[in-house]
Amino acid sequence: MGNIRVFRAIGMLAMVCVGFTAAVRADETCNSPYIAKLIKGQEDYVYVWTLGVEGLGDASDKLVTVDVNPKSKTYGKVVHSVSTGARAEAHHMGFTDDRRHIWAGGLSENRIWVFDIATDPAKPKLVRTVGDLGDRSGYLGPHTYYALPGRMLVQTLSNTKDKGGVTGMVLYNNKGKHLANYAMPTEQGGDGYGYDLAVNPKKNVLLTSSFTGYTNYMRPLGELIKDGEAMKKFGSTMVVWDLKAIKPTKVLAVPGAPLEIRWSLNPKDNWAITAAALTSKLWLVRQDAKGEWIAKDVGAIGDPSKIPLPVDISITRDGKGLWVNTFMDGKTRYFDLSNPEAPKQTYEKVTGKQVNMISQSWDGKRVYITSSLLANWDKGGADNEQFLRGFAWDGKELTQKFEVDFTQEKLGRAHHMKLGSKALRSSAAGG
Amino acid sequence: MNSPRRIQRASQAIALIAALACAPISSAHQDEPLAELDFIPPAPGTYTLHRIMAAPEGRVLGIDGRPQPLSRYTRGQITLLGFIYTTCIDPEGCPHAYRVFDALKEAIVATPSLHGEVRFVTLSFDPARDSPDVMRRYAGSRVLETDGRLRWYFLTTRSARELMPLVEGFGQDIRITFDRSGARPRRELSHVLKVFLIDRTGDVREIYTSTFLYPRLVLNDIETLLMEDRAAHRKK
């Protein structure tokens, strides 16, 4: 038993007890503050949750490991891929609180795939499938996987009844045992829609955002935007919840489908920021002088009349800067957040013909970008680039360092990313 | 429904906790005051503590060196269990948990309605160093009987082989890391601070990390479990 050998060795060493215990802090790519271990140095891997494409490779969704350590002989190359054997609109993923496992899911089904990334960080292994989400909750399309101590809180996008946008959250323990469901509020201004979630334990606040349901996100984008009735079925709220009780306390009006939520990582701050996709606006969520949580429009992203479609955002560790990817124009924009009430764009660059997710290293010097939004929303023809691109950021310029062409490699559509490290190897990954 | 007297007692305990949280805790580990809550927590009984998982079973050693099943210390009463190393030096790690336990102990001892309802368990991660004798010295006066008001058990294990099922079962991550900042790589044993609230039947009902390990929250959760017990008793 590897663990016993490890402990015997430990007994002969001077032991240092290091608790990962600071107050609110997210990891290098804006994860739960309960994630155990941050990668503060050079990451070794980027895990890319990839949508399968019919006729390409094995056509299945897969978790792809790309070596991103410049000192490695395989830098910028795919070193591993583990297929799910299914094509289920792979979308997002999240670490468990101990960072031993990744939970990853698709939006067209209710299966969640659990990968062990601790036994061999270079070669994630599929160890479990959680398949009871729909039966247990009536929800559909697991999206956000947010670690709580010993548990995973999953935000879904839709429901199994009418496949619309009224949905909720589902709580599991780390072994995949269902614990509870939480409906998104449909009263007092609530529209019932869901998208992302993020917590601020210092304030006992859970914040959620809202997108749209299966009938919209699985529909071809060109067709969808011509359907006026369907376009009304997008979220226009954020919800403030009591984190301890997981009960909604206030609905905030945030029109235009507010998506990713990022709390400032600065321990002195207690505000969050989001981007509304359809209106191309940045919104700040903070407490007012009376302690009431409010949402405030703090500025535009590009020219909203051109619908640049802001998608993923990534906040710097000091809360002073924000990367924003806009899908339609393929731009990566940097906003100075020194004054979060008035974000100021200071840089932009076209980083692809279509760009979606963006992640940065803890020190902010490396930025990773992928291309796919949704299978039916991605562009066609030559504009349908599918890639992971790695960039260096010196504070002034993004410089591309490598690219993995996911079509050429017969992998699929590159979507969500998480960072990995050899140093996070652990023999006690029981799953 | 709760009787006014019980609510009053719970309120007294919470008030005491609040006072303790603001005052320096007398401790051999730290002199800094515990952080204050920056929010009003939900009242006891207004929220659900889910049955997250069953506390694992295994063999442990008390300070008398006698082996016992861990379930002897995780059933029959509400249990607050935390893993420690006696050599832990991270102020945000084991010593922080110790200070919270100390604050809770004072509050529970001062609240008659909680007497005999709660036990504390401090379990070592480090069987190689933390023998029963070492744990006895680490515990100091905390291990003494408190007239049935609160017992605090200090446990260790005989070996890594006996420890690991407990560590794994609780999902208490331990990781070997290498600090390469010095001339020679140094091996470190890292862990996430977790404290487990276990109900009378041995189910883990809450897991606290440092971001949520406040005496007042723990006391609220204990009261929530007691209210649950009383409601179940009335149904019978």
Q: For residue A91, is pLDDT > 90?
A: yes
- Tell me what percent of the residues of chain B surpass a pLDDT of 90: 56
* Nearest chain B alpha carbon to A6: B176
**Residue B217 C-alpha, separation from nearest chain A C-alpha, in angstroms:** 9
Mean local confidence (pLDDT), A141-150: 97
Helix %, strand %, coil % for chain B, to 5?
A: 35, 20, 40
Judge whether residue A43 has pLDDT over 90. Answer: yes
Q: Tell me the average pLDDT of chain A.
A: 92
A105 bridge partner residues: A112
Band (pLDDT 50/70/90 cuts) for residue A126 is: very high
Summarised one tens digit per residue, pLDDT across range A344-386 is 999 999 999 999 999 999 999 999 999 999 999 999 999 999 9
Q: What's CA A32's distance to the chain center, in Å?
A: 10
B64-76 mean pLDDT: 97
Segment A156-201, tens digit of pLDDT? 999 999 999 999 999 999 999 999 999 999 999 999 999 999 999 9
Q: In the prediction, which pLDDT does B233 show?
A: 87
Element (H, E) at B18: helix B4-22
**Domain residues of chain B, as ranges?**
4-235
CATH topology of domain B4-235: Glutaredoxin (3.40.30)
Q: Quote the CA–CA distance of A379 and A195 in Å, as a whole number.
A: 22
Task: Say what the pLDDT of residue A86 is.
Answer: 97
CA distance A420 to chain B (A): 14
Please state the domain count of chain A: 1
pLDDT reading at A70 higher than 50: yes
With 90 as the cut, is the pLDDT of residue B142 above it?
A: no
From CA A257, how far away is CA A260, in angstroms rounded? 10
Give the count of Cβ contacts less than 8 A between chain A and B: 165
B95 or B112, greater pLDDT: B112
Position B85 scores a pLDDT of: 83
For the four alpha carbons of B35, B39, B42 and B47, in that order, the dihedral sign comes to negative
> Who among B85, B167, B217 is closest to A17 (CB)?
B85
Residue-averaged pLDDT of chain B? 82
Which of A383 and B1 is assigned the larger pLDDT? A383
d(CA A59, CA A53) in angstroms, rounded, equals: 5
With an 8 Å Cβ cutoff, are B209 and A149 in contact? Answer: yes
pLDDT of residue B94: 73
What's the pLDDT at A37? Answer: 77
Chain B nearest-CA residue for A36: B192
Query: pLDDT confidence of B145, banded at 50, 70, 90?
Result: low
pLDDT at residue B95, rounded to an integer: 76
In a domain, A429, yes or no: no
pLDDT mean over A77-82 = 98
| Residue at A430 is within a domain | no
Residues of A in contact with B197 (CB under 8 A): none
A residues 152-191 closer than 8 Å to B (CB): 171, 173-175, 177, 179-180
Give the residue numbers spanning the domain of A265.
Answer: 2-424
| Inter-chain residue contact A20 with B190, CB threshold 8 Å | yes
CATH of the domain at A192: 2.130.10.10
In this structure, are residues A281 and A256 in contact, taking their beta carbons and an 8 Å threshold?
yes
Check: CB of residue A157 under 8 Å from CB of residue A213: yes
Q: Residues 6 or more apart from A46 whose CB is under 8 A from it?
A: A65, A66, A68, A359, A368, A388, A390, A417, A418, A419, A420
Share of chain A above pLDDT 90, in %: 88
For B201-228, how does the pLDDT look when each residue is reduced to its tens digit (9 = 90+)? 999 999 999 878 899 999 999 999 999 9
Q: Which residues of A touch B54 (CB under 8 A)?
A: none
**Which of B40, B159, B109 has the alpha carbon at shortest distance from A204?**
B40
In this prediction, residue A337 carries a pLDDT of 97
pTM (2 d.p.): 0.91
pLDDT for position B136: 94
